[in-house]
Amino acid sequence: MAELKYISGFGNECASEDPRCPGALPEGQNNPQVCPYNLYAEQLSGSAFTCPRSSNKRSWLYRILPSVSHKPFESIDQGHVTHNWDEVDPDPNQLRWKPFEIPKTSQKKVDFVNGLHTLCGAGDIRSNNGLAVHIFLCNTSMGNRCFYSSDGDFLIVPQKGKLLIYTEFGKMLVQPNEICVIQRGMRFSIDVFEETRGYILEVYGVHFELPDLGPIGANGLANPRDFLIPVAWYEDHQAPGGYTVINKYQGKMFAAKQDVSPFNVVAWHGNYTPYKYNLENFMVINSVAFDHADPSIFTVLTAKSVRPGVAIADFVIFPPRWGVADKTFRPPYYHRNCMSEFMGLIKGHYEAKQGGFLPGGGSLHSPMTPHGPDADCFEKASKAKLAPERIADGTMAFMFESSLSMAVTKWGLKTSNCLDENYYKCWEPLKSHFTPNSRNPAGTN
């Protein structure tokens, strides 16, 4: 496969033409009476027309046929995709899942859409307020099928197996330890090359942004130049039996047939695009004296709510870094949080729990549910010699954090058969070290 090309930058106003059709972008206007190469002009709006310019999202696509050229949508089996947050009773316990099982190719072929499973979520799609966490488990490419969500943006985190993603804007290759965002309404199809697994954070009604840096300054965390946008690429052919366009609308699944490829965009310009990002490019901020900075310093992307400083969802990572804090318990502290914290592991071992929390699995700590290092981690870290040390080398854990209280689906609690019923036991060996007669026990740093 030839190396793919990209445009660099986050949220930029970009323009791209497939080199097979130079000059395909109209000059000086968006919607001429006749477009170059007799293409159709189509606008894709990701925000209300009247949004402030700083948050106004739209792109113009110049395509062989407009996307309206399809048969009527009909309801199809939605599999394990749901937005019903009342399937099962709430569970405030600490929850952990073993690696979600990928279907074997020899048993059943499952593509990305058929392999979508909603794990948890909150809010309401119809009012454009909320989020969902999905797991994808697949073993075959989508072929002449494409998918789009009318409900929200997909932040996709592949954990096992690379994804070749065809979009209306071009192609992206997304490997484990990279992420991509395919925004609301954008059609895409995914090729896989092995049994494949990953995580999805879907947000309703808002888009992901780079977090404000405040006193950090102008540089740091995820730098805008490291986000990559695909360049225009089109295909112009018909497939036997046509193409199937699958739409997730109000949490339900629908399908429509059309004769031509949905990826028939010859040129485009705008600031509403898909994009990808390599997590290795994250510039880590950390404490260099004592104590912890809060994990918000590891935020890659945020989807803001209407309340200042409060997110519908944050995407946070825990990358390799140096730990140098003096006189400090260095692993994550014990915590009760007003936020929901879903964690996943792409590779390696998470620093606060060396066992049990495995790549391809996950955990959910709901609002005000206590969590923190397991007993073994506490004992080792409390006695460790505090010298500069590398933390999380060969590891990448991440967190989807939300201000909403997420409900777990029936698939997550029961059908998946991956819930770790013994998770709570990792804290049972914790014991009291209280010394009422000695404020400064021997051996403390």
- Catalytic center residues: 292
Distance from the Cα of residue 20 to its chain's centroid: 33
Instruction: Give the 3-state secondary structure of residue 50.
Output: coil
Distance from the Cα of residue 90 to its chain's centroid: 24
The C-alpha atoms of residue 262 and residue 88 are separated, in whole angstroms, by 38
Sign of CA dihedral 241, 243, 249, 253: positive
Tokens of 221: 């965390």
Residue 350 marked ligand-binding: yes
Is residue 202 a contact partner of residue 134, using CB atoms and an 8 Å limit? yes
Residue 80 marked ligand-binding: no
Instruction: Report the alpha-carbon angle 277-197-427, nearest 5.
Output: 95
List of residues 6+ apart from 377 with CB closer than 8 A: 331, 351, 352, 353, 354
Please list, residue by residue across 24-55, b when 16 or more beta carbons sit within 10 angstroms of its beta carbon and e when fewer do: bbbeeeeeeeebbeebbbbebebbeeeeeeee
Measured between its terminal Cα atoms, the distance across the chain in Å is 55
Residue 371 marked ligand-binding: yes
Residue 117 marked ligand-binding: no
Known binding-site residue numbers for homogentisate: 350, 371
Known binding-site residue numbers for Fe cation: 335, 341, 371
Known binding-site residue numbers: 335, 341, 350, 371
